[in-house]
Amino acid sequence: MASARSNLSTYDESNVPDASPLRFGIVVADWNRDITHKLYEGCFDALLKHGATEVNIHTVQVPGTFELPAAARILAGREKLDAVICLGCVIKGETKHDEYINNAVSQGLVNLSIATGKPYIFGVLTPNTHEQAVDRAGGKYGNKGVEAAVTAIRMGELYRSSQ
Ligand code: DLZ
């Protein structure tokens, strides 16, 4: 960390660190795959756009969002990675399944990040409706997979510089 006051950068899609030296994992859930596979496309393309190479992006598919933390941990144990991006979509329904899954996954990913020092990125949509999900998977609010990729690049660079 800098000891003097930094000139803070304005990070957006036009000001992202070079991802070419970094290695990424992407774990994508198949539940609501019309949404999650779009998140994946946006995420993967954004990593490439910022310099990542295909051989440095390792993808694993899992059945549902609940499986993301365990699979992310397995993938990080198998490959040398600077950040692991987890993509899913849990749509609110008649029961409380969304609360159980979202709480477990967000807690699981932050626990992994803190325990290992490696960034595990929460790229999970938690919409009330399918339409809200569409809006955030390449629709009117953009593609949250792109935001997850940019977050992974920034955090991956921080992780790499601390090794
Ligand atoms: C069971 C379930 C339900 C009801 N809804 C979703 C969902 O909206 N999004 C999602 O990613 N997964 C869902 N799942 C599946 C769970 O994530 C998980 O795969 C199963 O409970 C098995 O552990």
Task: Quote the pTM value.
Answer: 0.95
With contact defined as beta carbons under 8 Å apart, do 82 and 53 qualify? no
Q: List, in order of start, the domains of the chain with CATH numbers.
A: 26-52+72-161 (3.40.50.960)
Q: What is the pLDDT of residues 86-136, one digit of tens each?
A: 999 999 999 999 999 999 999 999 999 999 999 999 999 999 999 999 999
Give yes or no for residue 66 CB within 6 A of ligand 1.
Answer: yes
Q: Token pair of 47, please? A: 């990593």
Give yes or no for residue 35 CB within 6 A of ligand 1.
Answer: no
Hey, how many other C-beta atoms are within 10 angstroms of the C-beta on 106?
A: 15
From 27, 66, 87, 132, the mutation candidate for ligand 1 (largest count of ligand atoms within 8 A of CB) is: 66
This complex has an ipTM of: 0.99
For 87-117, give the DSSP string. EEE----SSTHHHHHHHHHHHHHHHHHHHHS
State how far the Cα of 19 lies from the Cα of 48, in Å rounded to an integer: 8
